[in-house]
Amino acid sequence: MKVCIICEKEIQGKAVAVKEDRIIRVLRTIKKTFNVAKMNDLYVCEEDKKKHEERRKSFEKGVLFASIGAGIVIVILLAKTILTGAIEAWSILSGLILAGFIILLPLFRYTPAVEGMNSQLLPLLKGKNEKAPETKIAAGEVPKARESFAVKANSKVTKKSRMNFKKADESK
Ligand SMILES: [Zn+2]
């Protein structure tokens, strides 16, 4: 059954498919092991597109802030260990647990991306089969990155060959 993840109703009209990412796969596996998987195909219906986009954005922000927060906890932990010079197993452990907890917080309002959605999310949340955007290159055209490399390589060669030329000249 095709189901909208926002209104949780069956899809009747137009809809966009949800991108299957790691989190969805993990949730599916967990549900399968507990035998509660509904095996629905996840979509966002046309009416909820805007709502979904807002939720996704706030979720992405949450992930960003959580990563920063967890990073700060770890930096404080490192600084404390370095400054005091004492490795306290308990404080390190509790710090890591706190950092892990902060990272997991945004998952409570997890909102997956949909197909064709421009996601700036961390690679962690990207789908496995997601390909890098293909750049189309017209026949005979050199891609920009390669072009500059080619120029650099060429200049090296000419410099070297010029030097060789000079050497040859000197040895005469
Ligand atoms: Zn809907």
Kindly state whether residues 31 and 99 are assigned to the same domain: yes
158 Cα: distance to centroid of ligand 1 (angstroms): 63
Helix, strand, coil percentages for the chain (3-state, nearest 5): 60, 10, 35
* Among 23, 20, 56, CA closest to 41: 20
Kindly state whether residues 169 and 99 are assigned to the same domain: no
- pLDDT (0 to 100) of residue 86: 82
- pLDDT (0 to 100) of residue 148: 46
Which residues pair with residue 44 across a beta bridge?
16
152 Cα: distance to centroid of ligand 1 (angstroms): 53
115 Cα: distance to centroid of ligand 1 (angstroms): 15
- pLDDT (0 to 100) of residue 27: 87
- pLDDT (0 to 100) of residue 59: 95
- pLDDT (0 to 100) of residue 96: 93
Kindly state whether residues 41 and 97 are assigned to the same domain: yes
Where are the strands (E) in the chain, listed by range? 2-4, 15-17, 41-45
Kindly state whether residues 130 and 61 are assigned to the same domain: yes
- pLDDT (0 to 100) of residue 46: 94
pLDDT in tens, 103-121: 999 988 899 999 887 655 5
48 Cα: distance to centroid of ligand 1 (angstroms): 5
Q: Which domain holds residue 14?
A: 2-134
- pLDDT (0 to 100) of residue 167: 55
Kindly state whether residues 30 and 91 are assigned to the same domain: yes
Kindly state whether residues 77 and 89 are assigned to the same domain: yes
Kindly state whether residues 109 and 144 are assigned to the same domain: no
49 Cα: distance to centroid of ligand 1 (angstroms): 8
Kindly state whether residues 94 and 158 are assigned to the same domain: no
The 3-state DSSP class for residue 35 equals coil
85 Cα: distance to centroid of ligand 1 (angstroms): 55
Kindly state whether residues 108 and 30 are assigned to the same domain: yes
Kindly state whether residues 106 and 166 are assigned to the same domain: no
Kindly state whether residues 94 and 128 are assigned to the same domain: yes
Low-confidence ranges of the chain (pLDDT < 70): 118-172
18 Cα: distance to centroid of ligand 1 (angstroms): 12
- pLDDT (0 to 100) of residue 129: 46
Kindly state whether residues 170 and 130 are assigned to the same domain: no
